[in-house]
A and B are shown apart, each in its own frame.
Chain A
Amino acid sequence: KAGVTQTPRYLIKTRGQQVTLSCSPISGHRSVSWYQQTPGQGLQFLFEYFSETQRNKGNFPGRFSGRQFSNSRSEMNVSTLELGDSALYLCASRDGGLPPSGANVLTFGAGSRLTVL
């Protein structure tokens, strides 16, 4: 079974630009979550999508958005990039359904490392 795939793995942007990151979950997983990892703030939850709907959202400004497609693939977008957005963005997937299906065990991808100059 293929794992969680994130693209691109590395990217460099300048302040004010926008960026789109992609995540393909494990086949059969309907829930996709995004996390931001920085040295200063650690791992922080961005949002979760399940069946194309945002189910939960962390405490991030509206510049951070996401969506999920009918095949469960997800994208996240950051607009008007700031230096502080430099981070490793991790995507994670899980079944997301009702018990007893593998409750909330997240499988993570390798991440997309964004550098904002």
Chain B
Amino acid sequence: AQKVTQAQTEISVVEKEDVTLDCVYETRDTTYYLFWYKQPPSGELVFLIRRNSFDEQNEISGRYSWNFQKSTSSFNFTITASQVVDSAVYFCALSEGYNNNDMRFGAGTRLTVKP
């Protein structure tokens, strides 16, 4: 069965600090996709990144970077030089197979960036 664990319930940092959000997943499938979504107070989940199980390359997008390690079943998300606008709840999610919309979400990590 698929499962996603985000052990950090809440994180609070001061602006310009770097912060890493942890995500550990469980799956028996060899083909799966991992995602990160951001949920600001407005409620809408905003897609940040998708990785498939065959691509362990780390990715950087501006201040955001992702570290995917199959050996430890982790898909961690780092925000460099955090800003107040980064304050939100961040969800890691797992989808098994290619066309499966039954995404399992972690419990989310609430990030608060203080000025």
Contacts and interface: CB of A to CB of B under 8 A. Distances in A.
Interface of A: 31, 33, 42-43, 45, 48, 55-56, 58, 88, 90, 92, 94, 96, 98-99, 103-111, 113
A108 to B, nearest CB: 4
Nearest to B37: A108
Instruction: Describe A's contact surface by its main secondary structure.
Output: strand
A55 B98 contact: no
Contact of A55 (B43, B45, B101, B106): B101
A45 B101 contact: yes
B44 interface: yes
B68 interface: no
A91 to B, nearest CB: 10
A75 to B, nearest CB: 17
B47 A94 contact: no
Contacts, number: 61
A111 B48 CA distance: 18
Interface residues of B, number: 24
Nearest to B99: A104
B102 interface: yes
B44 A111 contact: yes
Contacts of B108: 42-43
Contacts of B43: 88, 90, 110-111, 113
Given A42-B105, A42-B108, A43-B91, A103 B45 contact: no
